[in-house]
Amino acid sequence: MTAFAGLSLNQATVQNLSVPEAVELCVRHDIGAIGLWREHVARTGLAASAACAKAAGLTVSSLCRGGFFTHADPAARAAAIADNKAAIVEAAALGTDTLVLVSGGLVPGRRDIGLARRLIADAIGELVPVAQAHGVRLGVEALHPVFAADRCVISRLGEALDLACQFPADAVGVVVDTYHVWWDAALLPDIARAGERIVSYQVCDWILPLPAETLLGRGHVGDGHIDFPPITAAVAAAGYAGYVETEIFNQTIWDAPADDTAATVAKRYPTIF
Amino acid sequence: MTAFAGLSLNQATVQNLSVPEAVELCVRHDIGAIGLWREHVARTGLAASAACAKAAGLTVSSLCRGGFFTHADPAARAAAIADNKAAIVEAAALGTDTLVLVSGGLVPGRRDIGLARRLIADAIGELVPVAQAHGVRLGVEALHPVFAADRCVISRLGEALDLACQFPADAVGVVVDTYHVWWDAALLPDIARAGERIVSYQVCDWILPLPAETLLGRGHVGDGHIDFPPITAAVAAAGYAGYVETEIFNQTIWDAPADDTAATVAKRYPTIF
């Protein structure tokens, strides 16, 4: 029923666990891959994190995340580029070929959204040779427009793709995250157009009401309003053959026992098809 | 500096006022037009509302709102069509040629967003002859994707326009509301493409953080992140020559003295250019 590699648990879903704890959780629940976060990796140590996943036989499906490129201030911009270069090196050390990018919102104190977009394209251009040298692909993630002002001015998959296509396909791709793009009338044709530029497929559901902290308004697959099967079919038809990451930011889920969360994630996974 | 007719106060901005009170407020602040809401008009009475605006020399720039078409249940669907026909008649009686449509979210209990879109197109098709008979244009409003599940699956101006263009231009147009569409990379070309299909230009600002009740997260022009001048210039260049409605849903603004609100609206209006 699928050419995908299988289910991956994005570590953000079990925010309270360290890398070794999250790895053990995946093993207990027969989840073959994990998406790691830099903060957690830093806490455990890069080499220790890589060794831990490897010893458990887990694939690291992606590293989250680089980005936040929208600085007009030269020092802040240089710091962002340096940090992203470090993230590429970390991704390679962890054995994943995918670094997810959250590109950044409006430039601080500015309303010019075009300026923010140009700064992102310029920054990615600087990172491309580094990504190629390390065999890592940068995954431009379109974020829901509710985050356009403060987190990411790239709001639609098509826009992420147009940006990615300015660069070689071995260096820059796009992330399809159902939470961010489900509402878009052009989603299915844009997925088809993305083809092998798709470097990651992430799933979680759009639930209502939104919580006060908009970032945390995500639900388990099936608890909300997203029609997953047509999106999954389009991603598969586009040629994506990697892991499907479940990535859920939700305080209630974070507060729940991680084994319950992993069990629900694994149980719901087949319903995306 | 503009070919617009001038500033209009949308009644939603001063939610606590009746039609006569809102009309008097506009007169006190030299605001030449008002956008009315059906609930308020019903409370004052249709004929009394029309007479009140006319006696004050105010133009009614629009009536809010029709829509909510996304019912699969035949009875609910028939009720929605009947209600929208009544709204068209009310708009004509109030002397406005514009009925704003909020088209509706996902069909209750369904996740098929394409179904919701088809129901909207079908409903508008039924309303077109009624709109033409009464000299009223239906304004399809794209709502921010944060409202896609529960209020409106038409999320982008371009999508609203593609829908409108299935019908005669004298019957169906589009509403440009900065709050809903500011983030869209295709906004300026889509405004140009909309041309004389634009039936209303509404302004308010995108402020952060969002309140728990997402609907109420709007700010006075200038208090948030939207870059108004390029949008306004595009709307003017497209040929729109009507009123610019300030429409703000915000509990703090509703709780403020209405004269303060109207003064701020009037004072900020020139900054959109």
Query: What is the full DSSP assignment across B8-38?
Result: EEEGGGGTTS-HHHHHHHHHHTT--EEEEEH
Whole-angstrom distance, CA of residue A41 vs CA of residue A12 = 12
Segment B32-61 shows an average pLDDT of 98
Interchain proximity B112–A185, CB inside 8 Å: no
Pairing assessment for the beta strands A243-246 and A198-203 based on DSSP bridges: parallel
Whole-angstrom distance, CA of residue A159 vs CA of residue A17 = 34
Interchain proximity B148–A117, CB inside 8 Å: no
Interchain proximity B206–A146, CB inside 8 Å: no
Question: Which chain A residues have a beta carbon less than 8 Å from that of B226?
Answer: 111
Query: What is the full DSSP assignment across chain A?
Result: ---S-EEEEEGGGGTTS-HHHHHHHHHHTT--EEEEEHHHHHHH-HHHHHHHHHHTT-EEEEEEEEE-----SHHHHHHHHHHHHHHHHHHHHHT-SEEEEE-B-SPTT---HHHHHHHHHHHHHHHHHHHHHHT-EEEEEPPPGGGTTTTBS--SHHHHHHHHTTS-TTTEEEEEEHHHHTT-TTHHHHHHHHGGGEEEEEE-EE-SSPPSSGGG-EE-TTSSS--HHHHHHHHHHTT--SEEEE----HHHHHS-HHHHHHHHHHHGGGG-
Which site among B107, B115, B146 would you substitute to test the A interface, given the most A Cβ atoms closer than 10 Å to its Cβ?
B146
For A198, phi then psi, to 5°, come to -70, 120
Question: Complex ipTM, two decimals?
Answer: 0.94
Question: Which member of B153, B208, B225 has the closest CB to residue A111?
Answer: B225
Segment A251-272 shows an average pLDDT of 97
For A213, phi then psi, to 5°, come to -90, 95
Residue A236: pLDDT above 90? yes
Taking alpha carbons only, the member of B82, B45, B32, B90 closest to residue B64 is B90
**Tokens standing for B82?**
């009947």
Interchain proximity A225–B149, CB inside 8 Å: yes
- B235's enclosing H/E stretch is helix B228-237
Segment B213-222 shows an average pLDDT of 89
Other beta carbons less than 10 A from residue A269's beta carbon:
19
Whole-angstrom distance, CA of residue B112 vs CA of residue B156 = 18
Interchain proximity B210–A208, CB inside 8 Å: no
Q: What is the pLDDT of residue A215?
A: 81
Other beta carbons less than 10 A from residue A259's beta carbon:
12
Which site among B112, B161, B183 would you substitute to test the A interface, given the most A Cβ atoms closer than 10 Å to its Cβ?
B183
Residue B252: pLDDT above 70? yes
Cα angle: B5, vertex B192, B184; to 5 degrees: 105
Chain B residue closest in CA terms to A184: B155
Contacts of B139 (CB under 8 A, 6+ apart): B62, B98, B99, B100, B101, B173, B174, B175, B199, B200
Q: What is the pLDDT of residue A3?
A: 85
pLDDT in tens, B154-188: 999 999 999 999 999 999 999 999 999 999 999 99
Q: What is the pLDDT of residue B53?
A: 98
DSSP-assigned beta bridge partners for residue A63: A36, A99
Among chain B, residues having any CB pair with chain A shorter than 8 Å are 106, 111-113, 117, 144-146, 148-150, 153, 155-156, 159, 182-185, 206, 208-212, 214, 224-227
**Tokens standing for A163?**
């940006």
Taking alpha carbons only, the member of B217, B141, B183, B158 closest to residue A155 is B183
Whole-angstrom distance, CA of residue B117 vs CA of residue B229 = 32
Pairing assessment for the beta strands B205-206 and B218-219 based on DSSP bridges: antiparallel
Question: Which chain A residues have a beta carbon less than 8 Å from that of B155?
Answer: 183-185
**Are the CB atoms for B183 and B133 separated by under 8 Å?**
no
Residue B104: pLDDT above 90? yes
Residue B136: pLDDT above 60? yes
Question: Which chain B residues have a beta carbon less than 8 Å from that of A111?
Answer: 225-227
Residue B2: pLDDT above 80? no
Chain B residue closest in CA terms to A149: B225
Q: What is the pLDDT of residue B211?
A: 81
Other beta carbons less than 10 A from residue A22's beta carbon:
31
Interchain proximity B185–A145, CB inside 8 Å: no
pLDDT in tens, A1-27: 468 999 999 999 999 999 999 999 999
Query: How many percent of chain A have pLDDT more than 70?
Result: 99
pLDDT band at A68 (very low <50, low <70, confident <90, very high): very high
**Are the CB atoms for B153 and B104 separated by under 8 Å?**
yes
Q: What is the pLDDT of residue B269?
A: 98
Question: Which member of A183, A208, A210 has the closest CB to residue B145?
Answer: A183
Question: Which member of A111, A155, A226 has the closest CB to residue B111?
Answer: A226
Among chain A, residues having any CB pair with chain B shorter than 8 Å are 106, 111-113, 117, 144-146, 148-150, 153, 155-156, 159, 182-185, 206, 208-212, 214, 224-227
pLDDT in tens, A134-176: 999 999 999 999 999 999 999 999 999 999 999 999 999 999 9
Q: What is the pLDDT of residue A213?
A: 81
pLDDT in tens, A219-229: 999 999 999 99
Taking alpha carbons only, the member of B196, B272, B202 closest to residue B239 is B196
Peptide bond into B65 cis (omega under 30): yes
Residue A231: pLDDT above 80? yes
Interchain proximity A150–B208, CB inside 8 Å: yes
Closest approach of B225 to chain A, Cα-based (Å): 6
Segment A24-31 shows an average pLDDT of 98
Query: How many percent of chain A have pLDDT more than 90?
Result: 96
Whole-angstrom distance, CA of residue A239 vs CA of residue A237 = 5
Interchain proximity B183–A112, CB inside 8 Å: no
Residue A199: pLDDT above 70? yes
Interchain proximity A211–B212, CB inside 8 Å: yes
Helix (H, G, I), strand (E, B) or coil at B152: strand
DSSP-assigned beta bridge partners for residue B219: B205
Closest approach of A242 to chain B, Cα-based (Å): 26
User: Mean pLDDT, chain B, as a whole number?
Assistant: 97
Interchain proximity A149–B227, CB inside 8 Å: no
pLDDT band at B103 (very low <50, low <70, confident <90, very high): very high
